[in-house]
A and B are shown apart, each in its own frame.
Chain A
Amino acid sequence: MNVAIWTTIIINGLCTGSLFGLVSAAFSFQFGALRMMNFAYGAFVMVGMYIMYAGMHHFGLHAAAAVPILVVLYFFVGYFLRATLLKSADPNVQIIITSGVALVLESVVLFIVGALPRSLLAGIPPTWKIPFAGGILVISKLNILTFIVSSVVLIGFSTFLKRTWLGMTIRAVVQQKEAASLMGVDPEKIINAGFGISFVITAIAAVMISLQFVLEPTAGHYYQLIGFLVCVIAGMGNLKGGFYAGLLVGLISTMANIFAATWHDAILFILFVIILTFLPNGVFVSKKSISRAV
């Protein structure tokens, strides 16, 4: 293993990690800011992947045309999900209802498409080969695209929250509902819209995942746990920390894949339980910001 191979591994790990950061961002925002427990989160990622697949392979749409449709669709799905099913503020009720939604989505997809794994793009993805330090760096173009999209979406999202009227209103409602409603804001509508926007991020994450990984009806569980893991390392609601935590998890995941591929999941989730038990506020966050018992 020379320097070039190690550099390749690290670059690929960081790119996968940026994808994990993107996956966790929507959940982190829903839980940390909106106080919504969304256990149907992985199922929606999975359904988004299958919608991409159906759009490209059955309706013959170009990827560039399928993405906007998916994004708009997901905004309204999120909006109406919050407006109809998730009105309760009780976390246990939210967990049960979203688990029910996940069960419905998974079994419907299983019924329609069957359990056979599929993949969106056939063949080996195009790569760049760069001579470096006596070896050759092999970098997949798709990985670089993923990294760019994830960074742009996350930076764009935090700018949206800080600078635009809707973003500021969402933060206001989250901080103090009553005061916001006295200023002429309808808190319910704003939370619905915030939930819809978090679903837009879910849709983009689903697109980026479907370009790289296989599609399976049970794939949602895995991305949901990855999302939880990244959020827990970063601290709930910490979007910037989420991106760094995603990079870290991506690196660990790539290393685990190389040294002990079969134990990859076990390593990640044991790490998850350990961090959750001993550093429940997250690694990238100070102890004061979020209390342990939510």
Chain B
Amino acid sequence: MQNAKTEWIGDWITPKNILVCVLIVPVLLIPFFYKGGAALLPMHLVIMVASYIVLAQTWNILSGLTGMFSLGHATFYGLGGYALAVAMVKLKLNPLVGLAAGIVLSAFFGLLLGAISSRLTGFFFTISTIALAQVIRTIAMQWTPVTNSITGLKIFRPIVGRVYFFYAAIAMAVAVSIFFAYLRRSRMGSMFVAIRENIHLARSLGVDVVKYKTVSSVIAAMIASVVGSFITYYIQVVDPNYLSPIISEKIIMVTIIGGMGYAWGPIFGSVLILLEEFIRGTLGARYAPLASTLYGIILIVFMLFKPNGIVSINLKRSFAMAIRALTPQKEK
């Protein structure tokens, strides 16, 4: 077991990891390349992509590792956002109190989800997550004195440079990705995977299934809530769209297209979030819904032909196959 630790640190130094680390450097330098206002848009895009990486990693813990297929992950994101906004606007508290409140609230809902998952599995668990998400969304829409209904809450905060948000988002994405990779190789991660692969076998071998499912959903809920608070503090507004099923679908799409259950999955998949901004930028806001159309089509195509996502594409082998297909054959 002592050797195992050194082994897996060595495993990290692979060509792919080095390549990605090299590619990240220009992204980190974005604030220095552009001067003045020109840097704002690229920085905003990177912040959104980084926040989706974190959200997708949390969904990856819940569904990719533990196999609890949730379609209501936006709930935790929205809870974090609303907790921060209510604490700041209605109760005039420090944003950190709001952040903590969001984490506690989400942890409570994670516990609830874990309790439900002890009784329901598979499809029935999935539809109960949809129903819970809808309940929370209805509360956000109807509890007007606290949530301001559809208009949402607007936050007034001291002016903070976007550079700080930019680096905070990247740091969060990197930290959570490393945490995921660590979790996947840890003892607890093995328990999660055992539950996903065969719940009855895992139970018969002494894995406390209910405990680990609950732990998994609480971890995912707490981290997702932090992202919600962060984005709300950054955009300065929170409304029921934070809880919409579209957000959940985007999180799922990012993870599945990248590769479910792999640390690199959400990182590769989250590049697709840029597609929407790209279409909005080039074709105009009227064409923005077409981004979702493309997301849907890409999701279907990947599910049919590459169900394990971008991670499973073996570049070396595809390249070799392409070369062999293109070279003239001298048979007969």
Contacts and interface: CB of A to CB of B under 8 A. Distances in A.
A263 interface: yes
A104 B298 CA distance: 10
A41 B50 CA distance: 33
Nearest to B125: A276
B148 interface: no
B203 to A, nearest CB: 12
B275 interface: no
Contacts of B130: 225, 228
Nearest to A265: B138
B6 interface: no
B311 to A, nearest CB: 16
Contacts of B123: 31, 37, 91, 95, 294
Interface stretch (A63-71, A245-253, A266-274): A266-274
B195 interface: no
B201 interface: no
A104 B287 CA distance: 14
A107 B120 CA distance: 31
A42 to B, nearest CB: 11
A101 interface: yes
A112 B173 CA distance: 36
B191 to A, nearest CB: 19
Contacts of B299: 96-97, 99-100, 103
Contact of A107 (B71, B122, B253, B289): B289
B120 A232 contact: no
A273 B295 CA distance: 30
B8 to A, nearest CB: 29
Nearest to A98: B300
A44 to B, nearest CB: 14
Contact of A103 (B116, B124, B132, B249): B249
Given A97-B304, A269-B135, A273-B116, A294 B289 contact: no
Contact of A97 (B127, B287, B295, B303): B303
Interface string B307-320: 10000000000000
Q: Which 10 A-B pairs have the closest CB atoms?
A: A107-B292, A104-B296, A103-B296, A100-B299, A100-B300, A111-B289, A107-B289, A266-B138, A100-B296, A269-B131
A286 interface: no
A280 interface: yes
A233 to B, nearest CB: 13
Given A111-B289, A228-B131, A280-B120, 19 more contacts: A85-B304, A91-B123, A95-B71, A96-B256, A99-B249, A101-B300, A103-B292, A107-B296, A225-B131, A225-B134, A265-B134, A265-B138, A269-B132, A273-B116, A276-B120, A276-B128, A292-B119, A294-B122, A294-B123
Contacts of B124: 232, 276, 280, 292, 294
A31 B127 CA distance: 13
B290 A107 contact: yes
B27 interface: no
Contacts, number: 119
A100 B297 contact: yes
A262 B292 CA distance: 30
Nearest to B299: A100
Nearest to A260: B142
Contacts of A99: 71, 249, 252, 299
A110 B286 CA distance: 10
A93 B252 CA distance: 12
Contacts of A276: 116, 120, 124, 127-128, 131
B300 A97 contact: yes
Nearest to B298: A100
A108 B293 contact: yes
25 contacts: A31-B123, A37-B123, A91-B122, A93-B303, A93-B307, A97-B299, A97-B303, A97-B304, A99-B252, A100-B297, A100-B303, A103-B249, A104-B293, A107-B289, A107-B292, A111-B290, A266-B139, A266-B142, A272-B131, A273-B128, A276-B116, A276-B120, A276-B128, A293-B122, A294-B124
A223 to B, nearest CB: 12
B252 A96 contact: yes
B120 A292 contact: yes
A277 B69 contact: no
B245 interface: yes
B121 interface: yes
Contacts of A101: 296, 300
Nearest to A87: B304
